[in-house]
Amino acid sequence: MSIVSPRSHCPACGTVLKASELVPLVSYAALRGRCGTCRERIPLRDPLVEALCGALWAFLFLRYGFSFSFFCDAVFFSILLAVFFIDVEWLRIPNPLVLCAMLPAAAAFGRHALASPLLRLRGGYQSAHPLAPLLGLIPGAALFLLIYLCALLIYRNNRVIGMGDIKLMIPVGLRLGLWQCLLAVFLAVSLGALTGIVLILAGKKKRRDPIQFGPFIVIGAFAAPLLPIWTFA
């Protein structure tokens, strides 16, 4: 569904929402969690995403101030937030979101490449080389693609990892760089494996049942820059 057309509307009755019904969190509280026309309940996911996105932007503003880094990361991580909830509910990662995430990732790459060697060395990529961000593609997109191809050739099974996860790791790797992407992948794989084991032991999943991996990639991408041993541009 496009975010441009048609305009924001109630998915139950199709009524186009008024400006007063589009204020994050406030409108949900004023409407008591229901559509103002048909009174269908608004999913709790909606205010939750609004609250998380607002908290994310507030955190980034406190960290970077009114700057290029703030706008770049606000857009990038907001897109990852959307990926998280969509993959949880629909078991897919839309290509348009991956392409949109490439824009702030490429912008951060361009800023690094055009900066002076000293500023590049102090940046989040921890390298003075202008092409250092490209190394972030190795532990994520390249590694996942290799796993995908090996599973396809050896086991004739392409369900080990989804192509959407591979494509998502392109902007994630480009934005985080080599070391932070390595950490993000480690966190994603560890959390994914632990969650899979718990679901299997609880009888919620079988060994061959697919588990959404996109949300764990998002968690890893969010967490890696926050750990104190790493810096982030």
115-174 per-position pLDDT tens digit: 988 888 777 787 888 999 999 999 999 999 998 888 888 877 667 788 999 999 999 999
What are the start-end ranges of the H helices in 124-162?
Answer: 143-154
* pLDDT per residue as tens digits for the range 176-209: 999 899 999 999 999 999 999 999 999 888 887 8
Q: Decide: pTM greater than 0.75.
A: yes
Q: How many residues does the chain have?
A: 233
**Nearest residue to 99 via CA among 113, 82, 114, 115:** 82
Tokens of 157: 């099974």
Each residue of 8-38: b (16+ CB within 10 Å) or e? Answer: eebeeeeeebeeebeeeeebbeeeeeebbee
**Nearest residue to 183 via CA among 233, 131, 228, 215:** 228
Helix (H) or strand (E) holding 191: helix 163-201
Question: DSSP letter string over 47-68?
Answer: HHHHHHHHHHHHHHHHHH-SSH
> How many of the other CB atoms lie within 10 Å of CB of 131?
11
Residue 60, C-beta contacts closer than 8 angstroms, at least 6 positions apart: 69, 70, 73, 74, 77
The domain spans of the chain are: 43-226
